[in-house]
Structure 1
């Protein structure tokens, strides 16, 4: 393995920083990790790792190391989410997200997870520096640009590239985002009470826990999350309380106020009066609960990159925890970054371009998950669009069905999505999947659109760029409009590029097996597909004003954007139909049992 001609400094030795370092070292990149603490260690309790992050860990060859090192933790398994409501009934199930056999998740203690990762650090390529708290960053330009880290002990470190993995209170973020960083990091009006309970204690108080299930107990302004960790010997408990009377960020904590403090069981129980016996007993069994004032980046940052400095993990997109996706997004960041920097053409002279590629791919996806997590929390606590009733919550959960499936099923193709990241700066042609190839011709994409393209296409299992991704080059792309293509010719060009009837037939063939075999259901599906195609073609006048000249490349670019919208809608519809079919089968099974 030939070593690269640049070094990377990672600020922060948590999960995301260590995963990124491992990915880089395996590509022959020298790494320096600077950690403010005196040793590696994580604060907190349980951590949920979803299928998308499991794929990354497997791709990096870490999943076996983690599970074999941490014998006290369960291996990855299928763990569906069960949503319980009303809170007065311990057995009431409002909704259960479907989970396929490949939807593997991992529930671990944070400290165990990090300890397992640290074992894979290779000292030949990765040097760790403890007791190094970064206070600022400066950049220099010259024959070879560099960045300099400044530490609280007065020392400095010069490097080619800096990755800020220093968490929610990131110092690196201040360099990347400036004033935006301080404005975006807010107290979210939410408090998380966290604690651990032995499963023996849970059994002693007469509570039965589903072992391979994440349980979310929904209430009004509060909700409770429980799931087993450490070989099902410990129950991880998180009780959330949110003040919806004022907007997020309206009431910041006083300066110097700790974000995590010890608290009493009585304080936690005070928020769950009138709840069912099981939930109350679980809370009463927490020996040393802690109170976390939940902070996040709302609104999200517009960019994770500045020059030769980039953010990953909570430093980039600290989000509310209601999708259990924060760590998973950080692991995705680490994987994308390590793959891009490992590209054969990535070198000391084009690192800023590599970071731009990372930014175009990661910022839209991570920020989208952050906003969806906020919406999930609103629904859990009765402040969703349809209100706090059981019917309203169920309606809102139905809307989230495609999201849940995206997180825990469709992201199974994440590895193929990541492979395409190396193509971000290439103007070469991308062939659409074979199933759509005769409907949408081969298209040349500028970098402005490739992030949206690969995100939408990441939900498909028929991509296969694994063989040729290394041929993609980091090249500048200059879109130069040519004269002569007027608006009147755009419609002709669109119809030349897209066979609408064939696209409709393809969608019908794909989705029909998922609906009941009756005329009404088939007709409803036809209407939904027609609606999706209308979305693809709508607003042409707004997108392409009359009187402006357009190059064919521009038309391709705008057309693929419409296609991405269509494809995302088709995925949501397909997921919804799958969920309905699963629920129908479940109801039939229940009838047969009774």
Structure 2
């Protein structure tokens, strides 16, 4: 039986482990965190990603949650619509809904589907040897007592999957000349709050170089995300107050949703602007943010990691085919997301007016034009071989 070691138990790493197991591989997933905490916030499971979850046998768990419904689109800070569509039209066009879930929900669904004993927590991959497939893990020590929790060990695999995120140590080792992640000039805030009642529409609001997005989670809560120009690594003493400083004057329910937040997560937005030359080296394959970290503007980060997972499992014995299929596609998606981010970040009044007018006219002249532009991304289907 072929053996794989997956480094990282995020969405991409867990999905890869599950995809490989369904093809008969012996899989070990190493996760440096001592437990899978319910961290993060909401994410979009778009039709392309939902098809992957179906192929992995877990799509039904997500389909029990509500998809986007009713009006959706982009508004101005005063509440006027720039462009809008009906989520039903998108479902009809792509054959699947967009489902918004908490990240922890999807992580739990994937982890529960793995063979018991697959996931090893508190295990840090210290080094990887691409030619031999050797993975060396670090000794884990309890910082309070000094007791050794797990001893250092060496694992050998036919395939090593580096799903270790934006700041991937494996990527840095395999491609030391690559510039790595760049700061986009934008920071983000994320909150999850109880539904306040009444009608909440899944929308984004754009203005003065800032964005505020609202999405409904399938469990009855509301997920909000916001971005604004910022220098790298900036932090406020009170991040909720900082959000209100940026968005208090915007249309309701934005200020009320911020005021209801008890926890605010702030993250600078970084991405890999320069694509890697390939997604593999020897027996090691890079996946998800480790391979192609992108901005969140198209909501495709986790979706592309899920695509990676099933394509990698299909071509696990020929990693050059994995690179050939995934590198061009993820490069295109990342560049499209970056373009949307730059367009949303316009803060010159004249440029904003031109952007808003063009988007509004496009929506009126061809209501399905925006959806049609998403065809290359959302119509993707997993390989059947």
Normalised by the length of structure 2, the TM-score is: 0.86
Cα separation, partners in 2 of 1:179 and 1:151, compared to 1, 3 Å: farther
CA shift, 1:299, in A, is: 1.9
* Aligned pairs for 1:66-81 within 5 A: 66=62, 74-75=65-66, 77=67, 79=69
Using the alignment, how far apart are the partners of 1:301 and 1:361 within structure 2? Answer: 14
Find the partner of 1:179 among 162, 177, 180. 177
Aligned 8 A contact 2:68 2:100 in 1: no
Q: Which residue of 1 aligns with 2:145?
A: none
Q: Which residue of 1 aligns with 2:325?
A: 361
The answer as to 2:48 corresponding to 1:95 is no
Using the alignment, how far apart are the partners of 2:155 and 2:238 within structure 1? Answer: 40
What are the Cα deviations for residues 468-492 of structure 1, in whole angstroms up to 9, with x where unaligned? x5xxxxxxxxxxxxxxxxxxxxxxx
CA shift, 1:325, in A, is: 0.6
Cα separation, partners in 2 of 1:79 and 1:362, compared to 1, 3 Å: farther
What are the Cα deviations for residues 382-413 of structure 1, in whole angstroms up to 9, with x where unaligned? 379x93112144468887543324334x33xx
More helix by share: 1
Aligned CA RMSD, in angstroms, stands at 2.6
Using the alignment, how far apart are the partners of 1:100 and 1:292 within structure 2? Answer: 31
CA shift, 1:286, in A, is: 1.7
Aligned 8 A contact 1:176 1:310 in 2: no
Aligned 8 A contact 1:14 1:41 in 2: no
What are the Cα deviations for residues 3-61 of structure 1, in whole angstroms up to 9, with x where unaligned? x4x21110011111111111111111111111101123453111110000101111121
Cα separation, partners in 2 of 1:103 and 1:387, compared to 1, 3 Å: farther
What are the Cα deviations for residues 300-336 of structure 1, in whole angstroms up to 9, with x where unaligned? 2231111111111111111110111100000000010
**Higher CA-based Rg:** 1
Normalised by the length of structure 1, the TM-score is: 0.57
CA shift, 1:252, in A, is: 5.0
Using the alignment, how far apart are the partners of 1:80 and 1:177 within structure 2? Answer: 45
Using the alignment, how far apart are the partners of 1:58 and 1:304 within structure 2? Answer: 25
Cα separation, partners in 2 of 1:356 and 1:40, compared to 1, 3 Å: same
Using the alignment, how far apart are the partners of 1:262 and 1:292 within structure 2? Answer: 14
* Aligned pairs for 1:466-477 within 5 A: 469=385
Gap runs ≥5 in structure 1: 69-73, 141-145, 244-250, 342-350, 420-468, 470-594
Using the alignment, how far apart are the partners of 1:149 and 1:262 within structure 2? Answer: 40
CA shift, 1:365, in A, is: 0.4
SS of residue in 2 equivalent to 1:132: coil
Q: Which structure exhibits the higher relative contact order, with contacts defined as CA atoms closer than 8 Å and separated by 6 or more residues?
A: 2
Aligned 8 A contact 2:46 2:98 in 1: yes
Using the alignment, how far apart are the partners of 1:159 and 1:395 within structure 2? Answer: 55
SS of residue in 1 equivalent to 2:307: helix
Gap runs ≥5 in structure 2: 140-151
Cα separation, partners in 2 of 1:302 and 1:387, compared to 1, 3 Å: farther
More strand by share: 2
Q: Which residue of 1 aligns with 2:149?
A: none
Q: Which residue of 2 aligns with 1:155?
A: 153
Cα separation, partners in 2 of 1:320 and 1:167, compared to 1, 3 Å: same
Matched residues, number = 362
Q: Which residue of 2 aligns with 1:14?
A: 10
Cα separation, partners in 2 of 1:372 and 1:36, compared to 1, 3 Å: same
Find the partner of 1:314 among 269, 282, 289. 289
What are the Cα deviations for residues 409-433 of structure 1, in whole angstroms up to 9, with x where unaligned? x33xx13xx23xxxxxxxxxxxxxx
Q: Which residue of 2 aligns with 1:61?
A: 57
